[in-house]
Each structure stands twice: as C-alpha cells, then as structure tokens.
Amino acid sequence: MPVPLTPRRIPKRDDAAGRAYGELRDALLSGVLRPGERIDLGAVAHWLDMSRTPVDHAITRLCTDGLVTVEPYRGTFVRPGDPERFEATAQVLDIVHDAVLATVGAAMAPAERGRLIEVTASAAVAAVDEAPERHDRWLLLMADLAGRVGNDVLASEEARLRTLVQHARVGAPPEVLTAHARRRVESLRARGAGWLGGGLPGDVDGASLPI
C-alpha cells in the first residue's frame, strides 16, 4: 500500500477505529487503494499514527461493507471492482431511492426539484472523464434526501448500498455510470406532472436528455 513516509497526525476528536475506518474507506472509494491490492496493516497503523487494534477493527467493518477481503495466511486485500455486482447493487439502491422520492418528493421546493433533475441529467450525459465525478455528485444528493426521510434504518441501508455501488463500479466502463443515471432520468420522467408539477424538460442547461 502506498502510504506517506511520515505519520499522519489526525485530531483525535473521534474514536481511533472510526477514524481508521473513514480514512481507509476514502482511500478505497477514491482509488488510492486499487482493486486486488494487498493492504499492509502495519503501514496503515504507522500512517494514521495509531496502534494496530483500531485498524483491525476498521478492517472488520470494511469486510462487512464488502470493500475488502481477509484471506487466511495471505493477508487483507481490496475487493476487486465488479461491473455485474454494480448492476445488481445499483438496482436495489434504485428501489431505495424511489422510496425516498415517494416520501420526500412532494415536500421538495421547486428549486430543489430542479437541482435534482439537473444533477441527474448531468450524470446521464457525462463525458468519459467526468462520469465518476458526476455520478458521485448525484449519489450524494440522493443521500441528503434519504437523510430527510427521518428513518435511520433506511438512511443506513442507503449509505451501505451507495458505498457498495461506488466500490463495485471501480474498473467499470464510464458508460455503465451514465447508463445508471439515465435510468434514473427515466424514473423521474415516469413520475411526470404528479411529482414534478409539469414534468421534466427536454433538456437541462442545453444538454439533451435521453428519452
């Protein structure tokens, strides 16, 4: 694992295991830790300036999340990205997001609805090099809406599925990400006037939307 030569001094506001989990999760989702790579837990502990115990706890959580695997006598490895797993997990996440919109959609201000349309459409027509960033922007907007539902179980499940989707997409063609957003555009279209108060426009900011 590529880690800095000097320890990272992280303010100890939270528990060490939680901080280790957050740092490793970010490294996994950002691609700093690549699919199939072996994770040197001793190097991670040195990098985060903590003992191995909280790092081990963080690895246990990441195993539960499906982001890493622990192989006896071999070590801890980043789970490879899997386009097929992406599709399967994204379908379940879409169901959760539909439930979110059914709950909070009617209460959204027109400007918020417009923002949702814009971000979803932007992800659906993203250029190859922009696809991951725009896909993330849309996912984070949906995460915010999920938090408004007021159901901790739903919010927790949305976060878990979103993490799996972000990881499983690693190595997938960018077209897979735009196709996912395109399906969500179609879902918004299907809601029509009843939800959007007039339906979706044919384009957003000059970008043609898929029909």
- 36 compared with 193, residue with greater pLDDT: 36
Residue 194 has what pLDDT?
Answer: 53
- String of DSSP letters for 82-134: -HHHHHHHHHHHHHHHHHHHHHHGGGS-HHHHHHHHHHHHHHHT--GGGHHHH
pLDDT tens-digit map of 86-112:
888 999 999 999 999 999 988 888 888
Task: Give rounded-to-5 percent helix, strand, coil for the chain.
Answer: 65, 5, 30
Is residue 38 within 8 Å of 77, Cβ to Cβ? yes
Residue 14 has what pLDDT?
Answer: 54
Share of the chain above pLDDT 70, in %: 84
Residue 74 has what pLDDT?
Answer: 92
Least Cα distance to 173 among 90, 66, 79, 86 occurs for 86
Share of the chain above pLDDT 90, in %: 40
- Overall pTM > 0.95: no
The DSSP code for 38 is E
| Structure-block tokens of residue 7 | 């320890």
Question: What is the rounded average pLDDT of the residues 150-160?
Answer: 92
| Structure-block tokens of residue 80 | 């490879």
Mean per-residue pLDDT of the chain: 82
Residue 70 belongs to what H/E stretch? strand 68-71
pLDDT tops 60 at residue 177:
yes
pLDDT band at 4 (very low <50, low <70, confident <90, very high): very low
Q: Are strands 75-78 and 68-71 parallel, antiparallel or unpaired?
A: antiparallel
Residue 2 has what pLDDT?
Answer: 52
| Highest-pLDDT range among 168-172, 178-182, 197-201 | 178-182
pLDDT tops 50 at residue 7:
no
pLDDT tens-digit map of 72-91:
989 999 987 777 788 889 99
| Structure-block tokens of residue 161 | 């599925």
